[in-house]
Structure 1
Amino acid sequence: MNIQEAKEEISRAIDAYLWKDESGHYRIPRERQRPVLLMGAPGVGKTAIMRQLAEEKGLALVSYTISHHTRQSAIGLPVVTEQLFDGRPQKTTNYTMSEIVASVYEMMEKSGKREGILFLDEINTVSETLAPTMLQFLQYKTFGTHRVPDGWVIVTAGNPPEYNRAVRDFDVVTKDRVRELRVTADFAVWKRYALERGIHGAVLAFLELEPEAFFFVRAGEAGKRFVTARGWEDLSDSLKAYEALRLDVSGAFTASFLQDAEIADKFYRYYLLYRKYAALYDIAGILGGREKADAARLKKTGFDEKLSFIALLSAAIGERVRKWQEEFRVQQEVFRILKEIRDAEAAGQTVVTEALREARFAAEQRLLREQAAEALSPSRERQLTAVVTRLRHYETLSDAAEPKDAFDALRTAFAADEAARKQREAETGEALSRALRFTAEGFGEGQELALFLTELNENSAVLAFADETGHADYARYNQLLLLRDRRETLKEEVMQFL
């Protein structure tokens, strides 16, 4: 299965394991809550989906690489104590709390979350001395005499032996205690994630041209040569930083992320071409309505140039729409808080200034708890931070107003913020319309427009924007694409009949 299918299966397992009866007890006993074992190549996204699941489900996340642990750190250190047996004192051995179990309790304390995911990576590289302990852990969720708290779902991961020489094969007894999911790399699935994440356009365009370069491992004279999804994502983040800081991007730079000389060289040469096209096409001018399509020239361009142009345009739209989505969610949250304050004031239950101060404090604590839970995406962290910043600003306005006018001051400030957001929303919508018109006028309503629409349709933020704003041009061009596809299908059916 691909990584998205694995994520969905783990999501269902979490829902089942955390399902409670009417009295609040977990319906599936802890010894029947089989840990999930994700088996797949390194860098395929196993750790990433754990963070996504924890954030989406509001759970805490504790991650450990089990290969770094010894028996002592996993089950605790021995402590000699004295106990009475049949009235006679005897020396006995107890153990300090497991470092791993202690981390779970610490996370519960910091995040305020009683439920979470305990993710243990490289589980099939445990030492021989730790293997018997792991067997007990997989079935009973205990390390030595210390139990993982109820409400914590255990997910483990490992690499097949061809990727890691330290791997030890699990025997039947161990495999009978886990739910094994075998994960393979899939560019089409990763691409949807990449569009939402804002992966650099050059990376996506290159992989469209060279999909076999997305993920592979092969033997070479100097050892293993490999390229992974993690490598592409890390390369993307660094590329963006280098470009923003106007730093030189060299072949050695790309080779440090892509551990295969041939692929690294291919990507570097394509990246130089991509930058050339970025200078040739004024993307900001197109979105701003300052550039007109030269159909005669555009239709003569090669496929790699067309693909690069579409990648540049798609990346620019994607960035604008992601910003819109974050602003929209922040505004929704602030509106919810202000509505609660207004309703409480109307009922005579609170004073606006005090209620706003409490709301700001609650938002700050929420941000700190989410950060402590280690399951916060950069986008979500920006949104929570923006809510806190806005509430602090409103608190200043409320303090400066007369008590009877405090909420009017907040209403005025919110209305101004909403008007500014609506203006940016309209600008984003117009930019999307211009991008669609430029592509249709420049290339016609053929494969280039279809490819551009496909890129947009795979981005969930674009779909959310179009749905929320009722974007007419987006709907119209998609309808045209649908009608064209139907005509082609009908033509093929007629030809087959004839």
Structure 2
Amino acid sequence: MNIQEAKKEICNTLRAYLAKDENGYYIYPLVRQRPILLIGPPGIGKTAIMEQAASECGVGLVSYTITHHTRQSAIGLPEIVKRNYGGKGMMVTDYTMSEIVASVYDCMEKTGKKEGILFIDEINCVSETLAPAMLALLQNKTFGSHKIPEGWVLVAAGNPPEYNKSVREFDIVTLDRVRKLVIEPDCEVWLRYAGGQNVHQAILSYLSMKKERFYSVENTVDGKFFVTARGWEDLSRLIQSYEKLGIEINAELVGEFLQKEETARDFAGFYQLYTKYGEDYQIPAILNGELSSEKLKQKQQMAAGGTFEERFAVVNLIQGTLRETAERYENVTHQIEVLHELLLHLRNHVKKISQDEKERDQLPSGISALEEFAQEQDNSLQVKIKMELLSLREQKFQETAIRRLREYILAAKKEHLRSAENGFKRICKYFEEEAARRENLVQKMHRELQSAFSFIKESFGDSQEMLLLVTGITADNTMTTFIAENGCPAYFQYSEMLLYNKEEKNLQKACAEAIQAI
């Protein structure tokens, strides 16, 4: 099972376990709700899919790496309490609430989400003193004397023994009470995920060619050598930061993330070539039509005569540039949608003010009413942030929308507008200018897509490079979203051609097999 299949199974489990009848009772018997146990190599993305699953299902998430905890923090501290047994008061030992269980209640209080995932990582690597508590957790969903709240699904994760010497084997009694999912590295799945996470195009290009270098963990007499999905993603972030700062990327730096010398050296060499190809081909200038016909012809001839690695890199450079523009389009579009929603609320606010003024026979309220509205929206946003109801990305969009609204209000005041109604009308004009800038971005994306297909066609014809470009665009959600909303004749033309060729080849293969059978 790959990591995305595991995420899908977790989402399906959440929907099944949390389904309720018409009276609000859970349909799936609580006693039969087995915890999920993920077993897979380190750095494969187990924690990341917990966040994705919780977000997609709209539930809370509390995540702990259990090896960071002591027995006291996990199950609570002992305390002496008075109990009544057979009419007699007795002093007995009890335990305070587990820090982990308390965190679940804290999450419910902060977010308002009464259902969620409790994720316990490295559960099979705990100390000897914690091992019994972990077995009780998997078997009974309890920490010490406190149960996990109803509506919270337990998901645990651990590494196979070959990756960690401290791994403890679970007995059959425990394994018979969990749903064990074994996860294996899958480069194709990770590449689809990485494309949506803005992973550096050089890494995507390299791993598309050399999938065998995606994941490797070796524990030999000479030492530990490993390359993980986490390593590639963290390396991507560093490269992107270093490029902006103009800092050199060398094999030693790459080796800090890809701790297998052969892979680190090979990728570092590819990265240097990739960067050189980017400088030589001037892809942004090609896609924006900034080169003369003579220079464009030279670039096409250079690409046509390149090695396999160079041709592959050129296509990925083009995809990377297209993705950057598509992401800008996606961000600008969403920002406009958030701002538009805010202005709709402002319109209703202005109408209410006007109606109240008419009823009370008052003069129109000043533009300060718009400033008060912006402050109210900001206050509401701060509450949502404190309650962790928004993702960081959505928080930034909301903050930008409120800041933009304040800029609009200030501009209206500079034009000596006094009433809230006139101020709102002027704000709508500013918003129209914002929408016009988005349309310019749409035209830019259309131009780049058309230039990309034209360059590949003139350089390579209808060969594998064209297939690579179409496949890359199809796999990228930001680009397919743009095409679905705005169209792209060249994309549909070549997609249909490649689909026809594929069907023709499959038909020829089927005919050949039929002839052999005769």
| TM-score under structure 2 length normalisation | 0.88
Kindly report the root-mean-square deviation, in angstroms, between the aligned alpha carbons of the 2 structures. 2.5
Instruction: Name the CA distance, whole Å, in 1 between partners of 2:177 and 2:406.
Output: 51
For residues 114-158 of structure 1, the C-alpha deviation after alignment (integer angstroms, 9 at most, x for no partner) is 322211001111233323322332244321222322222221111
Match of 1:475 among 483, 492, 495: 492
Please tell me whether residue 456 in structure 1 is matched to residue 461 in structure 2.
Answer: no
1:79 aligned counterpart, secondary structure? strand
Distance, in Å, in 2 between the alignment partners of 1:260 and 1:92 is 56
Query: Residue 404 of structure 2: which of 365, 387, 390 is its match?
Result: 390
Q: 2 CA distance for matches of 1:369 and 1:402?
A: 35
Q: Could you report, residue by residue, the CA deviation over 1:354-406 in whole angstroms, capped at 9, with x for unpaired residues?
A: 55544443334334433xx6x84x64454344334334445656786512224
Q: Distance in 2 between matches of 1:175 and 1:398?
A: 67
In structure 2, relative to structure 1, the CA distance for the partners of 1:384 and 1:222 (3 Å cut) is farther
Which position in structure 1 is the counterpart of 2:163?
Answer: 163
1:126 pairs with 2:140: no
Please point out which of 439, 443, 452 is paired with 2:460: 443
Which of 324, 327, 333 in structure 2 is aligned with 1:328? Answer: 333
- Could you list the per-position Cα deviations for residues 298-330 of structure 1 after superposition, in whole angstroms to 9, with x for gaps in the alignment? 221110001111111111111221221122222
**Structure 2 CA distance for aligned equivalents of residues 328 and 62 of structure 1:** 32
Larger deviation, residues 138-147 vs 184-193: 138-147
Q: Which residue of 2 aligns with 1:362?
A: 380
Question: Secondary structure at 1:34's aligned position in 2?
Answer: coil
Q: Which structure is higher in RCO with an 8 Å CA cutoff and minimum separation 6?
A: 1
Cα-to-partner distance string for 1:414-451 (whole Å, 9 max, x where unaligned): 21211112212221222222122111122112111111
Q: Does 1:308 align with 2:313?
A: yes
> 2:25: which partner in 1?
25
Q: Distance in 2 between matches of 1:396 and 1:151?
A: 48
Distance 1:307 1:329 in 2: 32
Q: Aligned pair 1:298/2:308, yes or no? A: no
Do the aligned residues in 1 keep the contact of 2:350 with 2:421 (CA within 8 Å)? no
- Report the Cα distance in structure 1 between the residues aligned to 2:139 and 2:409, rounded to whole angstroms: 52
| Residue identity in the other structure for 2:452 | A
Alignment of 1:14-413 (within 5 A): 14-86=14-86, 88-291=88-291, 292-294=296-298, 295-343=300-348, 353=370, 356-370=374-388, 376=391, 379-394=393-408, 396=410, 401-413=418-430
Distance 1:99 1:394, change over 3 A: farther
* Separation in structure 1 between the aligned mates of residue 253 and residue 86 of structure 2, nearest angstrom: 71
Structure 1: give runs of 5+ residues left out of the alignment.
none
Count, aligned residues: 494
Give the Cα separation in 2 of the matches to 1:38 and 1:349.
59
Superposition deviation, residue 24 in structure 1: 2.5
**Judging changes above 3 Å, is the alpha-carbon distance between structure 1 residues 171 and 496 closer, same or farther for their aligned structure 2 residues?**
closer
Written as runs of structure 1 = structure 2, the 5 A alignment for 1:423-442 is 423-442=440-459
**1:265-324 deviation line (CA, Å, top 9, x unaligned):** 111111111111111110111121123244433221110001111111111111221221
Q: For 1:473, give the aligned amino acid.
A: A
Aligned equivalent of 2:436, options 407, 410, 419: 419
Call closer, same or farther: CA 1:340–1:32 in 2, change over 3 Å.
farther
Deviation at 1:495, TM superposition (A): 5.7
Higher gyration radius (CA): 2
What does the per-residue CA deviation read over 1:444-467, in whole Å, with 9 as the maximum and x for residues that have no partner?
121111111111111111111110
What amino acid is the match of 1:117?
Answer: I
Residue number in structure 1 paired with 2:359: none
Change (3 A) 1:84 1:428: same
Secondary structure at the counterpart of residue 387 of structure 2: helix
Whichever residue aligns with residue 314 of structure 2, its letter is F
Task: Report the residue type matching 1:403 in the other structure.
Answer: A
Q: CA deviation at 1:86?
A: 5.0
Aligned-partner Cα distance in 2 for 1:276–1:99: 53
**Residues 67 and 126 in structure 1, CA contact (< 8 A), matched pair in contact too:** yes
Which AA in structure 2 matches 1:466?
A: I
- Structure 2: 5+ residue runs without aligned partners? 357-364
- CA distance in structure 1 between the aligned counterparts of 2:412 and 2:87, rounded to whole angstroms: 70
Between stretches 68-77 and 350-359, larger displacement belongs to 350-359
What CA distance in whole angstroms lies between the structure 2 residues aligned with 1:349 and 1:109? 38
